[in-house]
Amino acid sequence: MFDTLHEWFWWDRIWLPVNLTWADLEDRDGRVYAKASHLYVTVPYAFAFLLIRYLFERWIATPLAFSVGIKQKINLKAEDNPILEAYYTTQYRKPSQADIDGLSKKSSLSVRQVERWFRRRRSQDRPGVLKKFREASWRFVFYLFAFIGGTTALYDKEWFYDTQEVWMGFPKQSMLESQYWYYILELSFYGSLLFSVAFDVKRKDFQEQIIHHLATLVLLSFSWCVNYIRIGTLVMLVHDASDVLLESAKLFNYAKWEKTCQTLFVLFAIVFMVTRLIIFPFWLIHCTWVYPVHHYPAFFGYYFFNVMLVVLLCLHIFWAYLILCMIRKFMIGSVSMLQIIPMVPEKAGISLNTHLML
C-alpha cells in the first residue's frame, strides 16, 4: 500500500507537464536539477537556526537591548491554585463575573482575590518588551542578509528584468549554486519559525501565522520539486524587501525612538503596498498564470502553484487592510506611532518568504 501511495504521489502528471517525466530531470550533460531528496537537509538546518537564534538573542540581542534602555520586566507571580489554573488553561483567561463568583466559592477565595489572581496570571503570560526586541532583532538580521543575498544572486539574471525569461527552456533549467542556498536557507528559516511558534510571542494573527508558515513551506517545496526555482527566487526577494523595514521599525519602537520608528514604518507601508499588492499580483502571479501555457499545456501542478500564490495574496490584502486601519488611527490622532507598531501583524512582513510569513 505504501508503494502504491508513493507512486501515486509522485505521478508525473501531477507534478510535470504532459510528455515530461522525472527521467527528464535527471542530472546529465552538465545540468544539475533540484531534487526532493535535497529538502531533507532543511530539517537539521531548521534546528541549527534555532540554536543560532538562541545564541544570538542571548549574546547579541539582549546586550543591545540593555544598551538602549530596555530592561527585563519582572511581573508578580500568581499564587499556585489548581482550581483557578485549570480554569485559566482550559477555558477562559478573562472569566465573566458569574464565573468569578463560582470560582470564588470553589477556591475559598474572595471575589477580589480571584480577580487579582487572574490579573497576575495574565501578566505572567504577557511577553515583555525585551522578549519582543530579541525576536525582532533575530528576524531583522535574517531578512537583511536574505534580501542582500537574494539581490546579489539575481541582479545579473535575465529573468530579474524580464519575467518571460523565467520560462525559457523550462523545465530543463540547470540549478545554480546561489539558487540552491537561497532556497535551502529560506526553507530552513521558515521551518524554524514553525517549530518555535509555540514559545514565540503570541499575537492576534496567530492563526494567519500558522497558515502563512505552512503555505510558505508547501509552496517553496513544490516549486523546488518541479523546478519552478526562477519564479520562486523572485517571489522570495519581493517578500524580503518589506520584512527588513518592518522588523527595524519594531526595534526602534521598543527602544522608543519615535521619529525613526515613524520614518521606517512609513517606508515599510509604501514598500509593502508596492511589492505585495502591485508587483506580486501584476508581475509575478501574471508571470506564473499567463506565460507558462505558452510553453506547455496546463497541468495540476500549474493550477496548484497559482492557487497557493493567490492564498498568499489574500493574506497580503488582509494585512494591508489592517495596516491602513492603523495608519488611519495615527492620522486622526487617536493613537501614537509607538502604539501602532506593536499592533502590526507579525507576518505582515512575511510571505513566501511569512516570515512565505506567513
pLDDT for the residue 280: 95
pLDDT tens, per residue, the chain with 358 residues = 667 786 787 888 788 888 888 888 888 878 889 888 899 999 999 999 999 999 999 999 999 999 998 887 666 677 788 888 888 777 777 888 888 888 888 888 888 888 888 887 777 666 778 888 999 999 999 999 999 999 999 999 999 999 999 998 888 889 999 999 999 999 999 889 888 876 776 666 566 667 767 777 888 898 998 889 999 999 999 988 998 999 999 999 999 898 898 899 889 999 999 999 999 999 999 999 999 998 888 888 899 899 988 988 988 898 898 888 888 877 776 555 555 555 565 555 433 333 333 3
Contacts 24+ apart (CB under 8 A), 70-77: 70/129, 70/130, 70/133, 70/254, 70/255, 71/130, 72/128, 72/130, 73/128, 73/129, 73/130, 75/120, 75/123, 75/124, 75/126, 76/120, 76/123, 77/120, 77/124
pLDDT for the residue 301: 87
Query: 181: helix, coil or strand?
Result: helix
User: Taking the chain, what is the end-to-end CA distance rounded to the nearest angstrom?
Assistant: 35
- Round to whole Å and give the CA distance between 238 and 211: 19
pLDDT for the residue 337: 53
- Round to whole Å and give the CA distance between 354 and 205: 12
pLDDT for the residue 262: 86
pLDDT for the residue 343: 55
Contact 280, 235 (CB under 8 A): yes
pLDDT for the residue 334: 57
Cell numbers placing 177? 549554486
Task: Give which of 222, 275, 202 is closest to 244, Cα–Cα.
Answer: 275
Domain boundaries, the chain: 21-67+128-332, 82-125
CATH class assigned to 82-125 = mainly alpha
pLDDT for the residue 350: 38
pLDDT for the residue 355: 35
pLDDT for the residue 76: 66
pLDDT for the residue 357: 33
